Amino acid sequence: MKIAIGSDHAGFLFKQEIARFLTDRQIEVKDFGPSSTNAVDYPDIGLPVAEAVAGGAFEGGILICGSGIGMSITANKVPGIRAALCHDTFCAKFSRVHNNANVLVLGERNTPLDKALEIVDTWVSTTFPNEERHARRIQKISDIEKKYFTGGR
């Protein structure tokens, strides 16, 4: 699995730890920044990660900011992205099983690191079973994207 990872300054420390955690598990990781805790705007990192995942260069993405909300909003503006803000392993698992989430979002200020690593581990080890009812619902999301984001009105 190839993962694109990025954060803003408020998620920098988790980004570093999560990248190391994934690399230790033989998962290829590309860091989209930042390279320090100096202030950056979350859309400047979230957008390129989401575009890289939507474009197929990566099988998934992980984004971290202070709360996870800003990165979630940003990533979900990109057609083809299903970013899920997860605060526990239950949500991480079902974001994949039911929604085929391709971007995991975490909040560094509201999730302890050990729990964040458990969430990441659950998310990367869970696959979409492609059951008809879930695939149908995801297709409806894609249809909404086409209607509003690609001029298909």
**Catalytic residue list contains 91:** no
Q: What Å distances lie between residue 134 and 90, 100, 101, 123, CA to CA?
A: 17, 8, 12, 17
What's the rounded Cα separation, in Å, for the pair 71 and 65? 6
Residues 122/32/35/43 CA torsion (nearest 10 deg): -100
Q: Tell me which residue of 59, 85, 53, 60 sits closest to 72, measured CA to CA.
A: 85
List all residues 6 or more positions away from 121 whose beta carbon is below 8 Å from its beta carbon: 21, 25
What's the rounded Cα separation, in Å, for the pair 16 and 19? 5
- Catalytic residue from among 9, 65, 86, 91: 65
* Identity of the amino acid at 108: E
**Catalytic residue list contains 87:** no
- Catalytic residue from among 86, 91, 98, 134: 98
Q: Which residues are catalytic?
A: 65, 98
